[in-house]
Structure 1
């Protein structure tokens, strides 16, 4: 992609589907292993998907996963649409860095390193490590119900920052990304994006977020999504403009990250409604990008359900985790690792030309690939 001009149409040419020939080889190999086909449920499907994504059979273990979390504050939170005070997302970031946040605890349990990327927190950058704040575009995002969340220039900077993070992870050897968000007001921005791209009303996509807001706050949130949707509709033909109008710096960066991860053939596990909304925008840019993502879990947020349905992504788990941070996606990572291990280590019992269900020959147990 050109360094001096950001042309989103380039992604349509740069992103390829996972290797179809390798997928067929992986399916054939699975037919020659025990237990019988279907006995492992979705682990079979995951193993084949991983093989195609990696371009190799047998699949390699998932040994270097990383949780990448984009952070930002949204001006719309001033309307009381969240259970947290406006401009307080930096407290969530500090908990993630200190290891006391929900996702940080799960990441430690799973031995997965966590990377936090500040794109638009409403705090002094000196309060956080330079490695966290080096991509920051601005301090907080504009109030999407009455003004653009970002200028056009800020949107491009945020999008490019997300791409740069994807390149850094791919160059470092990350073999799977757990994608999360740390924000206040982010689910409201996500609701606007989903409603705009799915052609639905505000009330259909508006949930209660990770803080479990009460009925009055939910009504305020619906009104904010409705007002944001009115402003977003004229930008539907231009995904980057749409993100500038309503997405904010963190969601814009996540969208760039998802697309560039697909270019770099890096599998990504989506978390809740925020990552699903960004994925929906990214799909609008390059439809093949969806093939590089997994939906980690069903959060129960109506906006997430709409977005995943539009992308035909079936969540691996149904845990109703709405805390964000990447926690729900992280819970799905052991399934992905298990699928890789089974696909790689189950012994091949029958020659390639043997009918399915044929008894093992004298070389049973030898990998014929």
Structure 2
């Protein structure tokens, strides 16, 4: 796909889920052998999936997980407890099947692909080569990427959505790996929400209190530079993505928009993926109708991002690993919602009296 054709897609609003399918799903829920609302949020999950998939029997048997990796120039300012070489080492671990998301993908029978959007390490032979540069520039001092590089990252995400569609995916999960990417995500979220750095900057890979304080100062420096450089464009999502994002974060935004364009529901992971969702929703508000939110991350800034997206996640397990792992853990809930919706008997089928006594 050319840059021009993707830009045209990116400027178009995603389609709306099918209201008629949602209405039929609500009618079916009302006919099943249970008191109305007794299955709680599982009922609405099934209705939403039916509308998104335009099916009377929604399903999430075919799950496509795309894990985007990228490195960050801001690491030169000492904002992570781990060196950048870990990004490449973890790509090898994903490919070998030893990472958490690798284990969860096997358990779910999901497709797992690894996309290198720009790391400092040599490309792994089992990673899809979507390398834009050997990591972003240092966002505390200059724009993380050019507009052209941002568009390349968006296209890398859209290509993943295209592969998911070609595979017949019924659900898409985006994961991420990149030492330093909680710094980028925090800065991007702060710019989009007009929030102070201290509200969204957390420990990431395990910084102590002094490390979080230093990291917060770096985010503040990036926000000051961003506002001074871009003036009234400071909260424009496309500008903010290029100025403060990471290649893998922008690719996640592109993947979500690409999935919505192809009518594939998206299950959003934790803090970093939620920030990518926030940027994409700020650009195309209709995307919100295609998103499910898996879990509440232990990263403190996640609550602010979820609130901005009017999102109530399915799980709250204190997870903050990333990789798409929290989303993968939530898939059985979506599968349960579909199974209950599709397989429960109606009052009529079961010969159960639906009439209440007065």
TM-score grouping bracket, smaller chain normalisation: over 0.9
The answer as to whether partners of 1:15 and 1:289 remain within 8 angstroms in 2 is yes
1:367 maps to: none
The answer as to whether partners of 2:13 and 2:284 remain within 8 angstroms in 1 is no
Is 1:122 aligned to 2:116, yes or no?
no
1:217 maps to: 211
* Deviation for aligned residue 1:226: 0.9
| Per-residue Cα deviation, 1:13-57 (whole angstroms, up to 9, x for no partner) | 441221112111111110000122222121111111111111121
> Which structure 2 residues correspond to residues 259-274 of structure 1 after superposition, within 5 A?
259-274=257-272
* Deviation for aligned residue 1:11: 4.5
SS at match of 2:135: coil
- 1:113–1:37: structure 2 CA closer, same or farther, 3 Å change rule? same
SS at match of 1:4: helix
Distance 2:308 2:302 in 1: 10
Distance 2:3 2:104 in 1: 38
- 1:264–1:317: structure 2 CA closer, same or farther, 3 Å change rule? same
The answer as to whether partners of 2:175 and 2:324 remain within 8 angstroms in 1 is yes
Distance 1:23 1:11 in 2: 26
The answer as to whether partners of 1:271 and 1:328 remain within 8 angstroms in 2 is yes
Distance 2:215 2:3 in 1: 38
Is 1:148 aligned to 2:136, yes or no?
no
Is 1:338 aligned to 2:340, yes or no?
no
1:170 paired residue among 165, 170, 178? 165
Is 1:19 aligned to 2:37, yes or no?
no
> Which structure 2 residues correspond to residues 1-369 of structure 1 after superposition, within 5 A?
4=4, 6-7=6-7, 11=10, 13-57=12-56, 59-125=57-123, 128-129=124-125, 132-209=127-204, 211-233=205-227, 234=230, 235-236=233-234, 238-350=236-348, 357-358=354-355
Which TM-score applies when normalising by structure 1? 0.90
- 1:83–1:296: structure 2 CA closer, same or farther, 3 Å change rule? same
* Deviation for aligned residue 1:176: 0.4
SS at match of 2:267: strand
- 1:237–1:82: structure 2 CA closer, same or farther, 3 Å change rule? closer
Aligned residues: 349
Which TM-score applies when normalising by structure 2? 0.92
| Per-residue Cα deviation, 1:70-95 (whole angstroms, up to 9, x for no partner) | 10111112222122113431111111
- 1:2–1:114: structure 2 CA closer, same or farther, 3 Å change rule? closer
- 1:115–1:5: structure 2 CA closer, same or farther, 3 Å change rule? closer
The answer as to whether partners of 2:59 and 2:170 remain within 8 angstroms in 1 is no
- 1:297–1:79: structure 2 CA closer, same or farther, 3 Å change rule? same
